[in-house]
Amino acid sequence: MRRAFALAAQGPERGINPRVGCVILSPDGRTLAEGFHRGAGTAHAEVDALSRLAPGAASGATAVVSLEPCNHTGRTGPCAEALIAAGIARVVYTVADPGEASSGGAERLRAAGVEVAGGVLVADGEALLDDWLVAARLGRPVVTVKWASTLDGRAAAADGSSQWITGPEARADVHRERAAADAIIAGIGTVLADDPALTARTPDGRPLPRQPRPVVVGHRPVPDDAAVRRHPLPLTTLPGDDLAAELAGLHREGVRSVFVEGGPALASSIVRAGLADRLLVYLAPALLGGPRTALDALGVTSIDEAIRYRFTEVVPLGADLKITARPEGAR
């Protein structure tokens, strides 16, 4: 199975489809073929591995796969059917496919007389699939809410100035985080006030190879001359009336992770709605005081109603701290 994980890791880290690896073993344990998924529209890992064998060579063999074989027809056919047709006798996998359309491969295999064993090295399998798996279970992208603040929780000074609360190391890390997301979301208030480009850049301003899709939330129009309109990817605008439904719509369009960097109003709306899967806070050793807090009202009126998160990582970045937190009970 660990070899299947290593194969899967060769596939694209982000995308509509998961990273999957497959190893075909002979009845005596020899490796007959290997395969992995190279991205949307290409052969799935099981089919990729089977394609490397002569007809009939997989009869009686075992397929070790890093995700339950799919059971639906999309751009490619169902892997469960391909394994059955090849004469595979046993399938071993880690995590069950949570997709509404693609799940059920294990049941289909068993119905055809194939021996199936799931749940092998589940923690490793979930770590490999990461955001894709969580997004599939939620039916929406994984949401990271980011802000930079001082020790006293201020995101700007009383006059509204905020550049720069954190140092260059933290700012460079923010751009790496942006590049890792499928989309970056800002509120229209932030766009009108700060005119952000919503791109991922190097410290000297050069664009990183991978860019997040820009999304602006709010009813007011984005000006024609706004920097975000010069983004290399098309701009998406959302009203923000039903954030859960709008995020689900982005998921249907292939967005599996979003990076919310849109000011306290939007961040607070996301947190208040229970949609923040990850908080990313860059904490500067400074004090500003005043009214410009990192979050607005969350509907919490007493300490018993506090929205609890747990720290999963605290990393020094220059003079600042990068703090990652997830909701209590989340993975």
Q: What pTM does this model have?
A: 0.80
List the chain domain ranges: 2-135, 140-327
Is CATH 3.30.70.1430 the classification given to domain 2-135? Answer: no
Q: Same topology for domains 2-135 and 140-327, yes or no?
A: no
* Enzyme catalytic residues: 46
Kindly report, residue by residue over 9-64, the tens digit of the pLDDT.
998 877 778 889 999 999 999 999 999 999 878 899 999 999 999 999 999 999 99
**Looking at residues 242-247, what average pLDDT do you find?**
96
CATH T-level fold of 140-327: Dihydrofolate Reductase, subunit A (3.40.430)
pLDDT at 74: 65
243 is in an annotated binding site: no
Q: Which residues contact 218 (CB under 8 A, 6 or more apart)?
A: 187, 188, 189, 191, 237, 239, 240
123 is in an annotated binding site: no
67 is in an annotated binding site: no
268 is in an annotated binding site: yes
SS3 state at 15: coil
Alpha carbons within 13 angstroms on the beta-carbon side of residue 252 total 6
37 is in an annotated binding site: no
Kindly report, residue by residue over 89-144, the tens digit of the pLDDT.
999 999 998 877 677 899 999 999 999 999 999 999 998 888 888 888 889 999 99
SS3 state at 324: strand
Kindly report, residue by residue over 278-325, the tens digit of the pLDDT.
999 999 999 999 999 999 988 899 999 989 999 999 999 999 999 999
SS3 state at 191: helix
